[in-house]
Amino acid sequence: MNEEKTGSRFELGMIGLGVMGRNLLLNMADHNFPVAGYDRDVAKVQAFLKEGANHDVSGSNDLGTFIALLKKPRAVMMLVPAGSAVDSVINELLSFLEPGDLIIDAGNSDYKDTDIREKSLYAKGVWFMGMGVSGGEKGARYGPSIMPGGRPEAYGRVKPILEAASAKVNGEPCVTHIGPGSSGHFVKMVHNGIEYALMQLISESYDLMKRGLGLGNRELEQVYKDWNKEGLTGYLMEITGEIFGRKDSETQKDLIDEIKGAAAQKGTGMWTSESAMELSVPTPTIDVAVAMRNLSVLHSERSIAKSNLSRPAIPYAGEKAEFVSKLKSAMIASMLLVYSQGMALLSVASFHQGYGLDLEAIARIWRGGCIIRATILEDIRSVYRRSPSLPNLLLDPAFAKIVADHQEQLRLVSIEAIKMGIPVPALLSTLSYLDAYRSEWLPSNLIQAQRDFFGSHTYERIDRKGVFHTDWDES
């Protein structure tokens, strides 16, 4: 099909007019930027042109025609699935682009792939940016949190567009230049890892109240709405309350009860865990959130295990309202500990990857638009404003006090969950992380002794410097 408007004057082009790509492009058009879209699917191009009819937009399903629409030096953004699809689009684009043109990958690409692409394209004279975008479909349309990495000169080319399209908090745009190379995609990956962990924690609170307390969906709806008003205010808590109030349009039953309990994933949580392990940063709650999604799909195995490992249900015998109050405190502590793990990973990666991350700025742009936005991010921002190089949020006295004020409720809730036989691995992992992090002594000396015993791996001593080995077979 032919484009609706012609001329090489459009400031940015989008490849991929699925919901996210179309919405982000329309968002830019809302802010009076001339933009163009490309998709092989004619229907998607037509849908974009129809929805953007009152704006300065154009589009085509022919790549050469689309590129000709863009003002030089060109800026081309893509929102396509991570992996080979990104490389395929880049290879097609190279036939049309010229030195000085810019390609922006706004999908959830593996940051290691982003590093390779950025270096390869720069050698050809083409700029490349890996850019994280968070906020889902609605965020893309009305203001997401945007995490662009790459060379600062490349960011400068599109900075006005991204600032205009991003979410705003107190007038501040939720976008900043993250750093060089793959930093934008790395930060978005960690954002998603935190998201995995927070969602797992909320699902465990649901299980405790549903199976443990016997609360119905109307009661659960009210609990989450109350939590969102005070103490746990954030996007994920907000939508959780809405979910429990939604009816299925076909059956008129509560929709939550019609959804199969098998959680999907696209890889960013797993990549976060892998990266944390590579950098020797403990992120146990993110790790267990990934594992629980894997476990959720093993329904047939769990059905057999239910028979083989049966245990009588032990409902909670205490006051329900009191338990819900304790659970709220437990959630506050656990969510803070999740942010601590994620930010600690960013702190280490900032040094080892050469990103030079501004953690205060990252907390700032996460306050609006993105999935993990929550009021606590303002406090986290304040921590890094005071101590920019702090390796862990728990080392800040004010932040640590909030966790400490709620830790006993986390313990009590964990004990009751164990008694009831309700799985709460994320809650337990945050508690164990807290206890391990605040413990000056850990039993790892035994592990070192074992390693030296069976593998002569040596060990260090506390009474003198050096590396030692013991002949354990000596009598």
Among candidates 249, 255, 281, 300, which has minimal Cα distance to 352? 281
Q: What letters, b where the CB count within 10 A reaches 16 and e where it falls short, cover 5-40? A: eeeeebbbbbbbbeebbbbbbbbbbbeebbbbbbbe
In this structure, what token pair is assigned to residue 400?
Answer: 């640590």
| DSSP secondary structure of 53-84 | TTSSEEEESSHHHHHHTBPSSPEEEE---SSH
The dihedral built from the CA positions of residue 205, 334, 353 and 369, taken in this order, carries a sign that is positive
196 is known to lie in a ligand binding site:
yes
Task: Identify the DSSP state of 148.
Answer: E
Instruction: Note if 195 is an active site residue.
Output: yes
Question: Which long-range contacts (C-beta less than 8 Å, at least 24 apart) are formed by 463-469?
Answer: none
342 is known to lie in a ligand binding site:
no
386 is known to lie in a ligand binding site:
no
Q: Which of 195, 204, 221, 416 is catalytic?
A: 195
- Residue 150 and residue 75: Cα distance in Å, rounded? 14
- Residue 224 and residue 239: Cα distance in Å, rounded? 9
Contacts of 187 by beta carbon, 8 Å cutoff, 6+ apart? 132, 147, 149, 178, 346, 357, 362
Answer yes or no: are the C-beta atoms of 100 and 124 closer than 8 Å.
no
- Residue 189 and residue 202: Cα distance in Å, rounded? 20
* Size (the chain), residues: 475
Task: Identify the DSSP state of 394.
Answer: G
326 is known to lie in a ligand binding site:
no
135 is known to lie in a ligand binding site:
yes
In the chain, the amino acid numbered 182 is S
| DSSP secondary structure of 399-466 | HHHHHHHHHHHHHHHHHHHHHHT---HHHHHHHHHHHHHT-S--THHHHHHHHHHHH---B--SSS-S
475 is known to lie in a ligand binding site:
no
Among candidates 146, 97, 159, which has minimal Cα distance to 122? 97
How large is the C-alpha radius of gyration of the chain? 25
Q: Which of 3, 11, 44, 188 is catalytic?
A: 188
192 is known to lie in a ligand binding site:
yes
**3-state SS, one letter per residue, for 182-238:** CHHHHHHHHHHHHHHHHHHHHHHHHHHHHHHCCCCHHHHHHHHHHHHHCCCCEHHHH
Rounded to the nearest 10 degrees, what angle do helices 152-165 and 19-30 cross at? Answer: 80
How far does CA 408 lie from the centroid of its chain? Answer: 28
- Residue 259 and residue 203: Cα distance in Å, rounded? 14
Binding site residue list for substrate: 108, 134-136, 191-192, 196, 266, 293, 451, 457
Binding site residue list: 108, 134-136, 191-192, 196, 266, 293, 451, 457
Active site residues: 188, 195
